């Protein structure tokens, strides 16, 4: 979906480019991030608002959904909740990976710790015996 939004943004900005219209927002290139789809969408709406203020929306071609199954049947409140749920699921996945790494690190240290403590206790026992023999 983020690639589709970026492609749509590029098409809309190319279609709106006109030498006789000044003061239109420019397309901003962004690196991939969690906020990129939202920011790209805000850029598209910002361009539409600027075109509307200049009464130039009629200069744009009509944009339609090629595949209606890709158009969400939900209202915007539902979409906000769905986006929030996706972000929470993403965070849960990341946290599971971090917890797994932590558990592995602790297990590795515990596996090394008994041999180190066994060596230390053997040294103590040997030093106790040598002091008794003297």
pLDDT in tens, 104-130: 999 998 888 766 555 555 555 555 555
**Same domain assignment for residues 5 and 62:** yes
Dump pLDDT digits (tens) for 92-105.
999 999 999 999 99
**Which pLDDT does position 102 carry in this prediction?**
95
- Residue 15 Ramachandran class (φ > 0 left, ψ -120 to 50 alpha, else beta): alpha
**Same domain assignment for residues 4 and 66:** yes
**Same domain assignment for residues 3 and 63:** yes
Q: What pTM value is reported for the model?
A: 0.47
CA 112/CA 38 separation, integer angstroms: 48
Among 49, 71, 93, where does a domain finish?
71
Neighbours of 89 (CB within 10 A): 10
Q: Which domain holds residue 131?
A: 74-134
Q: Are 13 and 61 in contact (CB under 8 A)?
A: no
């Amino acid at each position: 979906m983020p690639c589709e939004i970026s492609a749509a943004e590029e098409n809309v900005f190319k279609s709106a480019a006109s030498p006789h219209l000044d003061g239109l927002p420019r397309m901003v290139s962004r690196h991939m991030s969690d906020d990129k789809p939202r920011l790209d969408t805000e850029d598209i709406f910002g361009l539409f608002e600027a075109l509307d203020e200049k009464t130039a929306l009629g200069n744009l071609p009509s944009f339609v959904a090629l595949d209606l199954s890709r158009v969400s049947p939900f209202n915007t409140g539902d979409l906000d909740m769905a986006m929030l749920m996706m972000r929470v699921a993403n965070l849960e996945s990341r946290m599971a990976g971090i917890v797994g790494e932590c558990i592995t690190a602790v297990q590795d240290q515990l596996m090394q710790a008994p041999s180190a403590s066994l060596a230390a206790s053997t040294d103590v026992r040997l030093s106790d015996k040598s002091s008794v023999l003297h």
